[in-house]
Amino acid sequence: MIRGYHVEKEMQADHKSFLGGMEKKKASFQKTMSVVYCFANASGVAVQFLVITIAGMLAVRGYLTLGSIIALTQLTGQVITPVFQMSAKFSLLRSTKPLRDEMEQIVKISQKTEDSKEVQLEKELQLQGISYSYAEGEPVLSGIDLSFESGKHYALVGKSGSGKSTLLQIVGGYLEKQGGELWVDGREGEIPSSIMMQQNVFLFDKTLKENLCLYRQFDEAQIQRALDQAGLTDTVAALPEGMDTCVKENGSRFSGGEKQRIALARAILHGEELLLMDEATSALDKRTAGQIEQQLSECKNLTLISVTHRLDPAILEKYDEVIVLDHGQVVEKGAYQELLARKGALQELVQEEEATPLPQ
C-alpha cells in the first residue's frame, strides 16, 4: 500500500522517529537485562559459597578431604555458569524464530526489481506469455496472454489456487514475472502505476483525513468528492470529530464495509487510474459488497481489475470482461452473459457456488 500511494519517503521519516522510541525502549530493556544478569551471577556466587560452606563443614567432620573440596568447587562453577548462560540464550533464540521463518519465506520469493519504472496507464496493458512459480514448486501461472484497456473493468474468477492473486500482483509490480512480456501502452520494461485494495484494509493509527490524504495536500472539495463517490458522507457526518476523528489501531472503530469504503475513497482521492482488488469484498455481506461494486462501476475513468469469488450476476454483469483462470491458465474470457451461454468453465463455477451457497 505504501508503494502504491508513493509515500515511501514520508513513511521512512515516521519510521525513523519510531525507531528513536524503540532505541530508548531497547536501552531500558538492556538495563533490565543487566540487573537480571547481575542477579543471576550473584545467585551463582551464592550457590558456590553455599557449596564451599557445606563442604567445609563436612571436611571438619572428616567426611571430605581438602582435594575433594577444591574439585567440588571447580565442578560446581563449570556446571552453574553454562546453565545460566543457556537459559538466557535459549529465550533470545526462541524469540527470533518467527522472524527467521518469515525472512526465509521472503528471500524465496522474487520481488519487484528496483529498475522497474512506474508509469500511468493511458491506453492498454498487455501480457504475453506470462509465467510464474513460487520457489521450486509447480508453475502458478503459465502462458498468460491478456489485454486490459484503460477505463474498462475486468473480473478475475476461478477456483482457489488458480493463480488469480498472483496474476494481480504481477500486474501491480509486487511480484516480478519469471517469463513472458508485459507492455504498458506499447512499452516494455515498465509497470503501470496502481493501487491495490485487499480484503484486509490497513489503516494507520491517525485521523481519518490523514489516512485518506497520506501526506498529500488535497482541498476540501476534492476530499468531499471522494467521500461522495465512495458512499462515506453519512459515515463521516456521524463521527464525533468528523474527518479529524482518530481511526484507532488498524481502523478498529470502523466496520469491514466502512473500511473498504475508506480504501475506495483513498484510491479515488489519489487519482490513480488503475485499481487492483484482491477479493476486497469477500469478507463483506452480499448487500454491502453490492454497494461497493456499484460505487466502483460508477467510476468511469477508473481501470479496474478485480479478483472475486462472488459469482453474483448483478455484480459480474457490471464488468466489461470476465476472465476465468484454471490451473494457472486463462480458459475463458468475455462478457458474463456471453460466457454463460457457452456453458463452459464459468457455468461450472456458478453451479458449484449454487451447490454450496455463501452466507448472505
pLDDT digits (tens, 9 = 90+) for 182-229: 999 999 888 888 888 887 888 888 899 999 998 889 999 999 988 988
* Average pLDDT of the residues of the chain: 82
Per-residue confidence (pLDDT) for residue 265, from 0 to 100: 87
Contact 230, 295 (CB under 8 A): yes
Backbone conformation region of residue 348, classed left if phi is above 0, alpha if psi is from -120 to 50, else beta = alpha
For residue 187, what is the domain's CATH number?
3.40.50.300
Q: SS3 sequence, the chain?
A: CCCCCCCHHHHHHHHHHHHHHHHHHHHHHHHHHHHHHHHHHHHHHHHHHHHHHHHHHHHHCCCCCHHHHHHHHHHHHHHHHHHHHHHHHHHHHHHCHHHHHHHHHHHHCCECCCCCEEECCCCEEEEEEEEEECCCCCEEEEEEEEEEECCCEEEEEECCCCCHHHHHHHHHCCECCCEEEEEECCEECEEECCEEEECCCCCCCCEHHHHHHCCCCCCHHHHHHHHHHHCCHHHHHCCCCHHHCECCHHHCCCCHHHHHHHHHHHHHHCCCCEEEEECCCCCCCHHHHHHHHHHHHCCCCCEEEEECCCCCHHHHCCCCEEEEEECCEEEEEECHHHHHHHCCHHHHHHHHHHHCCCCC
Instruction: Identify whether residues 275 and 179 lie together within a single domain.
Output: yes
Contact 166, 137 (CB under 8 A): no
Asked if residue 111 belongs to a domain, the reply is no
Instruction: Identify whether residues 221 and 148 lie together within a single domain.
Output: yes
Which one has a higher pLDDT value, 104 or 267? 267
Query: In Å, how far are 220, 233, 235, 244, 254 from 238, measured between CA atoms?
Result: 18, 9, 5, 12, 12
Instruction: Identify whether residues 193 and 266 lie together within a single domain.
Output: yes
Instruction: Identify whether residues 94 and 52 lie together within a single domain.
Output: yes
Per-residue confidence (pLDDT) for residue 198, from 0 to 100: 82
Per-residue confidence (pLDDT) for residue 106, from 0 to 100: 58
Instruction: Identify whether residues 183 and 312 lie together within a single domain.
Output: yes
Per-residue confidence (pLDDT) for residue 335, from 0 to 100: 95
Asked if residue 345 belongs to a domain, the reply is yes
Block residue for cell numbers 504475453: 128
Per-residue confidence (pLDDT) for residue 333, from 0 to 100: 96
Which one has a higher pLDDT value, 351 or 21? 351
- Boundary residue ending a domain (106, 127, 149): 106
- Boundary residue ending a domain (46, 80, 106): 106
CA-nearest of 1, 328, 360, 358 to 162 is 328
- Specify the amino acid at residue 301: N
Cell for 96? 527470533
Asked if residue 141 belongs to a domain, the reply is yes
Q: Which range, of 142-146, 303-307, 350-354, averages the lowest pLDDT?
A: 350-354
Instruction: Identify whether residues 154 and 285 lie together within a single domain.
Output: yes
Digit-coded pLDDT (tens) for 291-333: 778 778 777 778 999 998 888 888 899 899 999 999 999 999 9
Instruction: Identify whether residues 25 and 45 lie together within a single domain.
Output: yes
Per-residue confidence (pLDDT) for residue 173, from 0 to 100: 87
Asked if residue 360 belongs to a domain, the reply is no
Which phi and psi (to 5°) does residue 4 adopt? -65, -35
Asked if residue 280 belongs to a domain, the reply is yes
- In which band, very low, low, confident or very high, does the pLDDT at 110 lie, cut at 50, 70 and 90? very low
Mean pLDDT of 226-248: 89
Q: Is the pLDDT of residue 113 over 50?
A: no
Instruction: Identify whether residues 101 and 141 lie together within a single domain.
Output: no
Per-residue confidence (pLDDT) for residue 357, from 0 to 100: 53
Q: Is the pLDDT of residue 120 over 90?
A: no
Block residue for cell numbers 501480457: 127
Q: Using the Cα atoms of residue 143, residue 337, residue 148 and residue 225 in order, give the sign of their dihedral.
A: negative
Asked if residue 202 belongs to a domain, the reply is yes
Per-residue confidence (pLDDT) for residue 245, from 0 to 100: 92
Alpha-carbon span 303 to 295, nearest angstrom: 14
| Alpha carbon 83 to chain centroid, angstroms | 41
Which phi and psi (to 5°) does residue 214 adopt? 50, 60
- Boundary residue ending a domain (66, 87, 106): 106
Q: Give the best-scoring range by mean pLDDT among 12-21, 44-53, 272-281, 330-339.
A: 330-339
Cell for 334? 468475455
Instruction: Identify whether residues 126 and 100 lie together within a single domain.
Output: no
- In which band, very low, low, confident or very high, does the pLDDT at 116 lie, cut at 50, 70 and 90? low
Which one has a higher pLDDT value, 171 or 87? 171
Instruction: Identify whether residues 71 and 135 lie together within a single domain.
Output: no
Asked if residue 139 belongs to a domain, the reply is yes
Mean pLDDT of 80-104: 68
Instruction: Identify whether residues 151 and 81 lie together within a single domain.
Output: no
Mean pLDDT of 50-67: 80
pLDDT above 90 covers what percent of the chain?
30
Contact 279, 197 (CB under 8 A): no
Instruction: Identify whether residues 86 and 175 lie together within a single domain.
Output: no
The domain in which residue 229 lies consists of: 117-355
Q: Is the pLDDT of residue 56 over 90?
A: no
**pTM (2 decimals)?**
0.66
pLDDT above 70 covers what percent of the chain?
85
Residue 107's CB is within 10 A of a number of other CB atoms, namely 9
Cell for 104? 526465509
Domain count, the chain: 2
Per-residue confidence (pLDDT) for residue 1, from 0 to 100: 60
CA-nearest of 182, 90, 66 to 131 is 182
Asked if residue 2 belongs to a domain, the reply is no
